Copies of this chain bind each other. A is one copy, B any other.
């Protein structure tokens, strides 16, 4: 990148503490940085490493900046956002080279825009539609009648199964599955009876799905992930669930059938949400919590079964204190 801290400041905001004319040529973590690198120091855990870091300077927030004195600092009100902007500039989305790899299998009855890139061994089935500038990665599959919007990135080995619909700029991680059958079985005396899963999945614009995640199709009707929602690796979304706009679900979360996660909600890793339950807009659920009842809008819940986080913390504190008391006797 080769820019002085002063220039970075001018381009991306913030202020400089210390020598502002120092020039940095690369980005690296505090531990891996060389003497010409700028290192983001975005968490107090890195303060220890900072003393031995070879970094030329740190990108840091106001609070942590008070604890680092041995180095020039680029202090930013939102250092993660500054980092995102720099990385965007340094690593722009590569221009899509259009073309269909000779080993891809593209149905003559599909409709693939000539500006698309279809990589090795990809399969596009009958009736599928793939809009402009979309990349279908190696070994990815677009099923019968599926519709993919513009500027999407289907990762290698992912599958968008029959009838599913993706908006524009959707990204699907490697190996992820969109449109798997929901777990629809009715217990009978002769064993579980299958309920045909006849619906589909809608991923609205700017949705991202992580590696090896699975979004089940509706039993009837739709499973919907709303605009801009982000799902991490190995997230499971059951049939007819709905994930609200800009919601973020961390890795290994599971949403049972017909559950709802409101707009802007944040779910930590390994959270589970029971069937037909509602997590309100803007709610935050601590990692590994088990949501066994509705969560009000804006609330912060934790635990299993999930309760307001402060309550859960107090419950544990009480329990552990009673233990100490008992021991003291």
The stretch from A3-11, A17-25, A127-135, A225-233 touching chain B is A225-233
Tell me whether A100 is interfacial, beta carbon within 8 Å.
Answer: no
For A295, what are the chain B residues with a Cβ–Cβ distance below 8 Å?
none
For A78, what are the chain B residues with a Cβ–Cβ distance below 8 Å?
186
Which of B27, B198, B304 is the one whose CB lies under 8 Å from A288? B304
Q: Interface digits, A251-295 against B, CB 8 Å rule (1 contact, 0 not)?
A: 110101010000000000110101110100000000110101000
For A307, what are the chain B residues with a Cβ–Cβ distance below 8 Å?
320
Tell me whether A157 is interfacial, beta carbon within 8 Å.
Answer: yes
Given contacts A175-B177, A318-B322, contact A220 B84 (CB under 8 A): no
Which of B80, B143, B269 is the one whose CB lies under 8 Å from A272? B269
Given contacts A210-B180, A246-B192, contact A84 B29 (CB under 8 A): no
Q: Shortest Cβ distance from A36 into chain B, in angstroms? A: 15
Which of B90, B233, B288, B292 is the one whose CB lies under 8 Å from A216? B233
Contact B232 A251 (CB under 8 A): no
Residue of B nearest to A251 (CB): B236
Tell me whether A248 is interfacial, beta carbon within 8 Å.
Answer: yes
Contact A212 B210 (CB under 8 A): no
A→B interface (CB under 8 Å): 27-29, 31-32, 40, 43, 45, 78, 80-81, 83-84, 87-88, 90-91, 101, 103, 105, 120-121, 123, 125, 138-139, 141, 143, 155-157, 159, 161, 173-175, 177, 180-181, 183-188, 191-196, 198, 206, 208, 210-212, 214, 216, 218-222, 227-228, 230, 232-234, 236, 238, 240, 245-246, 248, 250-252, 254, 256, 258, 269-270, 272, 274-276, 278, 287-288, 290, 292, 303-305, 307, 311, 314-316, 318-320, 322-323, 326
Question: What are 6 A-B pairs with beta-carbon distances under 8 A?
Answer: A80-B186, A88-B194, A156-B161, A210-B214, A233-B236, A318-B326
